[in-house]
Chains A and B, each alone.
Chain A
């Protein structure tokens, strides 16, 4: 099953905590229930960004490892 996202953001060019900051700000501009696709690096980003998003009440739908070692994260916006 493939998830179709409403918005896309690439955070492979920044480091923590700007990774989460950019993702958070992108979600702020979206509607409740909409889905954001995030392209992120292995290591710190993949460890921290999904967890921080969960802490803010958003729903992590899927985290997929790509052939180049980076990840695609699907997160559903939830205002809490």
Chain B
């Protein structure tokens, strides 16, 4: 692949970077990132990945754009209300950067389809931008079993957290959190609220990890959980050990096939959770 004059100009601020250069930009352009959930986290993440020139972006979402999404899901516009989120996302990316090929999956990720979605374009890196524990554990288990790296993140109120899993390096999400909390023990952001910018901060951190992974530069958030509290403006980076007895990535895993945790049906009927 050789960069066109237009690409040299579009990505000049990347290419100037010692850690990127023309070769690094070519890695980004041939990179394939799957963004699961095009909501608070996935919207800004997908936009920055598209602007950066990630050549193949997959968007997964079963939902349609709701007016209450627009306070934070910046890939969607007022005129998109009622439209499938993946279609709205694809249109925004197409207008932003013609170098990006977008693949859309207008469905809920489940044990039955997630491996096929990951395999569809043999994605290099997966970004978890979902808003519920069943999906987060499913994405973790699917990435561990498919040997794919992924970025986890969650946001609520004025708080957020993120960590990165790379096969063979450091803990997976289940090493740390083991099981979803009991239903209703933790409110969703629809019940609890979330400051709109939280998705921007955590989602762009996830996009940063995806780009670093594609470039092979720097240190990823493997073996660490980064937490952010917007009210006190505090970032904390907590070291996390791998759990040798982890049910999915441990020495003797009990989870060898994917399964779905039960999702409260109301969470699926109503829109606007993410």
Contacts and interface: CB of A to CB of B under 8 A. Distances in A.
A24 B15 CA distance: 8
A20 interface: yes
A56 interface: yes
A21 B23 contact: no
B117 interface: no
A22 B15 CA distance: 9
A28 B23 contact: yes
Interface residues of B, number: 11
Contact of B8 (A18, A52, A55, A56): A18
A21 B18 contact: no
A17 interface: yes
Does more than half of chain A's interface fall in helix, strand or loop, or is it mixed? helix
B22 A25 contact: yes
B21 A20 contact: no
Interface in B153-176: none
B16 interface: yes
Contacts of A17: 12-13, 16
B3 A25 contact: yes
Interface string A1-23: 00000000000000001101110
B18 A18 contact: no
B9 A18 contact: yes
A20 B16 contact: yes
Contacts of A22: 8
Contacts of B8: 18, 21-22, 25
Given A21-B9, A21-B16, A24-B22, 6 more contacts: A20-B16, A24-B15, A25-B3, A25-B8, A28-B23, A55-B18
